[in-house]
Amino acid sequence: MKLYTYFRSSAAYRVRIALNLKGLAYEAVPVHLLRGGGEQRQQPYRDINPAALVPALQVDGVTLTQSLAIIEYLDETHPFMPLLPQDAAGRARVRALALTIAADTHPLTNLRVLQHLTGPMGLSEESKMDWYRHWLRDGLAVLETHLARDGETGRFCHGDTPTLADCCLVPQVFNAQRFAVDLAPYPTIERIHAACAGIPAFQAAHPSAQPDAE
């Protein structure tokens, strides 16, 4: 199993957590998102993932892209340590929490968007960071509201074992900390993040623990 990854990529970080939670060994192939204009935009990676985004996972003779699709695949093919609940309503809730980050928050604040704001759009660094923090806070606030009010929230986002939602929450909190976004308004997120941070599978997936960490 070969994971194309970048130490600081949120989406790759999600998949690393899932692989580690399931105890699946993989070969990490670093794709440097900044060097030489971004290795993800060039061959050979562009053929592996035409979206020029990490991660991609080569497994069972196929190349998978999109972190959530990859994690669902791993969950279906390796049922040990399930990352989705057994009931349809629970699965819908976990997927919705995951998408609150992976669709409504992270795509607005990832590297290519930030580069587009200061490049073709001609915005200042300050405007770029305003944009970044605006959407990050917006996403965290929605997530906090769900987690704080829903009876299904437990030690983790859904019950007392980690799910796909926690695989998404932790990298998003890492980003918030990296850019000094105050997490005090999101106490449930902070509590769940702390619970995850105590687990070796999450620790081994942290950007600082990756072979390509800088």
Q: Which is nearer to its own copies, 186 or 210 (by Cβ)?
A: 186
Q: Restricting to residues 32-71, which ones interact with its own copies according to CB under 8 A?
A: 50-51, 53, 60, 62, 64-66, 68-70
**Interaction between residue 120 and its own copies (CB under 8 A):** yes
**Could you tell me where the DSSP H helices lie in 62-124?**
67-77, 88-102, 106-109, 111-118
Cβ of residue 214: shortest distance to its own copies, in angstroms?
Answer: 26
Q: What is the DSSP string of 152-196?
A: TB-SSSSBTS--HHHHHHHHHHHHHHHTT---TT-HHHHHHHHHH
Report which of 174, 179, 180 is spatially closest to residue 208, judged by C-alpha positions.
174
Q: Quick check: 118 binds its own copies (CB under 8 A)? A: no
Q: What are phi and psi of 122, to 5 degrees?
A: 70, 25
The reply to whether 73 sits near its own copies by the rule CB under 8 A is yes
Q: Does 102 bind its own copies (CB under 8 A)?
A: yes
Q: Is 92 in the site for its own copies (CB under 8 A)?
A: yes
**88 counts as binding its own copies under rule CB under 8 A:** yes
- Determine the Cα–Cα distance for residues 143 and 71; give it in Å rounded to an integer: 20
Number of residues that bind its own copies (CB under 8 A): 41
Does the footprint of its own copies cover residue 81 (CB under 8 A)? no
Residue 103 binds its own copies, judged by CB under 8 A? yes
Phi-psi region of 37 (alpha: psi -120 to 50; beta: other; left: phi over 0): left
Per-residue binding letters, 141-180, with its own copies (x by CB under 8 A):
-x--xx----------------------------------
**Helix, strand, coil: what percent of the chain each, to 5?**
55, 10, 35
Among 28, 29, 108, 114, binds its own copies (CB under 8 A): 108
CA 77 centroid distance within chain: 20
The packing angle between helices 88-102 and 125-149, to 10°, is 160
Please report, as ranges, the residues that interact with its own copies according to CB under 8 A. Answer: 50-51, 53, 60, 62, 64-66, 68-70, 72-73, 76-77, 88-89, 91-93, 95-96, 99-100, 102-104, 107-108, 113, 116, 120-121, 123, 127, 130-131, 134, 142, 145-146
